Structure 1
């Protein structure tokens, strides 16, 4: 029996479901990005010595960042496999599987012996586990976005979809906070020998918490409506490529600039500050922590703002700012820690006004029945040309030219690519009605589902 005349949930039940979905999307994604960010920070700080020993510290860091890239290159596999399953069997089941996969991989990295103990087997196993992390994250993002946005009012999709977007800065904040605390509590030798492993092993308890939240959640109303209407796609990957190619291209290009900007100011900035500016590791981490803390607030704010003004216009303006800011940041950073920290904070604030509206903007490019697949493919394929190679190229460019100018030009080029994507994308307002129909299925459809 249903509580409303039309067979749907009561207003109170819908509000409760929206809150639970928002929390599940935010916490689950944050925990997965804690795992991913732990690796990113460790690659910049200790993996060069632990798994890729070299007489040249920059070469060791370069090799460590090559395994960082593996986590992005493997994402399309997660997008293809889990994205398809998300449109066929449901959002909830897939999100539980991705959380388990990335949590197990991260926990095992914490137990992996170093190169000095296992030899070449150590970096090989590290790459395999990093690959598994990437597969999990590749299948996570699209579902996390839909988990919150498909429970909420489609007219506030920018805000609700931003729950998944808060995950990366929240996870990055937690990861760098744990690493910074360990760096304070332990000596340099202790941290580099075994202390960094503690952060990886903590993921076991954190993932358990995330699973507890997701298991209790119901499937989204949109997917339930698709089941009731028997409109689930049989071959969603093929349909996306054949029926919505422009949407896919636009969504891919829209992610490149933000990915490169984020890689510079949360990952590569640690290397630049310590190796080029001579700052302490803790000082560099503190700058990232401050910026990430503000992002936790700014990202949902930006998502909400995009519900009130044209989402594409907001995205385009923030992209232009992202392309310009590195030319201001690098001269500032030479002035010491405070200018560096201000520069990182501003960069991550700009990123927030890209990342906040991004989930809704990308999801709105695709029809609801192909939305998990399309969003996941866009997210993962963009990662290969965006975030995957960014730290590697930043490090290589700095090594080759010993100047920040090529680094800034690289960010500007990535921003130009995103401007093209924004131009190709459709105005999100056109997608509101279709989600409103699916979010409130008819009495007949609800009866058929039961």
Structure 2
């Protein structure tokens, strides 16, 4: 069996340190501990992103883009900056995969998470447009690119490790566990913003109150770093790495073998990813611009929606283990397509209709989003699973979610809110088409291994 050092290359690297850490640990990390580490990791990443996303609605249009001709244009400018992170994420994956191969996963995670937390915390120190002019826009864009670049390096393979430790009849259950971090991160970010908006005047909130959630993001990243490094030093992680289950491979080498799998895999979760920001960031922007209820109340409705989303994610694991992940994803896409016909009318109604949009939307999102990550990893064989799943996830978020708030607000403002229904149904159609392609046998049952076995 090859050693971790051999996988990383010659010379002393952090991979050697990781190997020593496994010897010191000598104990095993249970699947339950891995699951907790995965949830904490995803929570920290999504908290950073949602703090920024909520800032794009509640802070930046007034602080960074006061020169815009109207509030809608200012909000769209904020959403344009929001999209930059998703453009930087694949670049981060490319660079950090190289760091992973040469210096080890511990070094990669440490740099990535400090960059992620540092970029987020740096936003808290930013002066507004009234102080430094267009430099404020440039700094916000730079820090947002830093967030996306770092998130590309935060991919740790823990989801794959959790799947490898899962019983064959419970892979759907274990695949949904990392996804729980998203609604928890969103709920925490929403509660923080609600607290400061409710207890401060608008002037104080725009002056200093909004900055505290960005400070909290850095602290959460430090906690997540230690939780993840503990798992990196575990026996299971070392065995999986040495067995080349979680080996980082060069991006272009992986694409030479799995280019079509990356493209198809990026479209499989498109329905849930398109839905993702249309029930989190976009609705708050619509309520803020067009009314219906106060933003403080709506933030709490979204917290309730996030709790419903957690229930939906848990149910997705139970359902996927009974009917298969592919069938679960198809059902989720169909429900999103059906919901798209009523979504515009709910969001454009009064407070009760808007509340229904959030709670129903989060429930549907949970059923679909719960199995989205497992779908990407299942398309790749052992040698390329780690790198392939990372890049596929990057592209799926880029295509499905990066421009969702911007496009939705632009369509709704220019042509009417009914067009957000068309945006949702287009994502559902892409998912259904990708899942219907002949090469997709059954997500979660690793068709590549079955093919190799039959070849023998």
TM-score band by shorter chain is 0.7 to 0.9
User: Is the Cα contact below 8 Å between 2:27 and 2:234 reproduced in 1?
Assistant: no
Query: Does the alignment pair 1:411 with 2:411?
Result: no
Superposition deviation, residue 223 in structure 1: 5.6
Range with greater deviation from structure 2 (42-51 or 378-387): 378-387
Query: Does the alignment pair 1:117 with 2:113?
Result: no
Aligned match of 1:18 in 10, 31, 35? 31
Q: Report what 2:396 is aligned to.
A: 382
Q: Report what 1:445 is aligned to.
A: none
Query: Does the alignment pair 1:427 with 2:451?
Result: no
Query: Does the alignment pair 1:250 with 2:264?
Result: yes
In structure 2, the CA distance between the partners of 1:24 and 1:388, relative to structure 1 (3 Å rule), is same
After superposition, what is the alpha-carbon deviation per residue over 1:2-59, rounded to whole angstroms, capped at 9, x for unaligned? xxxxxxx9xx965x42122111110121012111100001101210111111230011
In structure 2, the CA distance between the partners of 1:220 and 1:339, relative to structure 1 (3 Å rule), is farther
In structure 2, the CA distance between the partners of 1:377 and 1:227, relative to structure 1 (3 Å rule), is closer
Provide the C-alpha distance between the structure 2 equivalents of 1:423 and 1:84, rounded to a whole number of angstroms: 34
Normalising by structure 1, report the TM-score.
Answer: 0.87
Provide the C-alpha distance between the structure 1 equivalents of 2:231 and 2:395, rounded to a whole number of angstroms: 29
Aligned match of 1:362 in 369, 376, 379? 376
Query: Does the alignment pair 1:281 with 2:323?
Result: no
After superposition, what is the alpha-carbon deviation per residue over 1:343-398, rounded to whole angstroms, capped at 9, x for unaligned? 21111111111111111121111112211211111111122222111111112112
Range with greater deviation from structure 2 (412-421 or 426-435): 426-435
After superposition, what is the alpha-carbon deviation per residue over 1:172-217, rounded to whole angstroms, capped at 9, x for unaligned? 1110111011111112221122211111111222222222222222
Equivalent pairs, count: 424
**Mapping for residues 129-148 of structure 1, pairs under 5 Å:** 129-141=143-155, 143-148=157-162
**Mapping for residues 94-105 of structure 1, pairs under 5 Å:** 94-105=108-119
After superposition, what is the alpha-carbon deviation per residue over 1:200-256, rounded to whole angstroms, capped at 9, x for unaligned? 111222222222222222457676346545788684422321212332122100132
For 1:299, what is the secondary structure of its paired residue? helix
User: Is the Cα contact below 8 Å between 2:129 and 2:136 reproduced in 1?
Assistant: yes
Aligned match of 1:260 in 267, 274, 286? 274
Provide the C-alpha distance between the structure 2 equivalents of 1:252 and 1:48, rounded to a whole number of angstroms: 31
In structure 2, the CA distance between the partners of 1:51 and 1:147, relative to structure 1 (3 Å rule), is farther
Normalising by structure 2, report the TM-score.
Answer: 0.85
User: Is the Cα contact below 8 Å between 1:182 and 1:196 reproduced in 2?
Assistant: yes
In structure 2, the CA distance between the partners of 1:154 and 1:90, relative to structure 1 (3 Å rule), is farther
Q: Which runs of 5+ in 1 are unaligned?
A: 1-8, 436-450
Provide the C-alpha distance between the structure 1 equivalents of 2:229 and 2:77, rounded to a whole number of angstroms: 38
Provide the C-alpha distance between the structure 1 equivalents of 2:246 and 2:404, rounded to a whole number of angstroms: 37
Range with greater deviation from structure 2 (222-231 or 67-76): 222-231
**Mapping for residues 200-215 of structure 1, pairs under 5 Å:** 200-215=214-229
Superposition deviation, residue 121 in structure 1: 1.1
Provide the C-alpha distance between the structure 2 equivalents of 1:31 and 1:369, rounded to a whole number of angstroms: 28
Q: Report what 1:43 is aligned to.
A: 56
Provide the C-alpha distance between the structure 2 equivalents of 1:23 and 1:224, rounded to a whole number of angstroms: 18
Q: Report what 2:180 is aligned to.
A: 166
For 1:395, what is the secondary structure of its paired residue? helix
In structure 2, the CA distance between the partners of 1:272 and 1:396, relative to structure 1 (3 Å rule), is same
Superposition deviation, residue 339 in structure 1: 2.1
Q: CA RMSD in A?
A: 2.7
Superposition deviation, residue 150 in structure 1: 3.4
In structure 2, the CA distance between the partners of 1:286 and 1:366, relative to structure 1 (3 Å rule), is same
Provide the C-alpha distance between the structure 1 equivalents of 2:122 and 2:187, rounded to a whole number of angstroms: 22
Q: Which runs of 5+ in 2 are unaligned?
A: 1-22, 451-456
Aligned match of 2:322 in 308, 322, 328? 308
User: Is the Cα contact below 8 Å between 1:263 and 1:391 reproduced in 2?
Assistant: yes
Provide the C-alpha distance between the structure 2 equivalents of 1:369 and 1:230, rounded to a whole number of angstroms: 6
Q: Report what 1:216 is aligned to.
A: 230
User: Is the Cα contact below 8 Å between 1:95 and 1:144 reproduced in 2?
Assistant: no
Provide the C-alpha distance between the structure 1 equivalents of 2:150 and 2:377, rounded to a whole number of angstroms: 19
- Higher RCO by CA contacts (8 Å cutoff, separation 6 or greater): 1
For 2:231, what is the secondary structure of its paired residue? coil
User: Is the Cα contact below 8 Å between 2:312 and 2:364 reproduced in 1?
Assistant: no
Q: Report what 1:290 is aligned to.
A: 304
Provide the C-alpha distance between the structure 2 equivalents of 1:230 and 1:205, rounded to a whole number of angstroms: 33
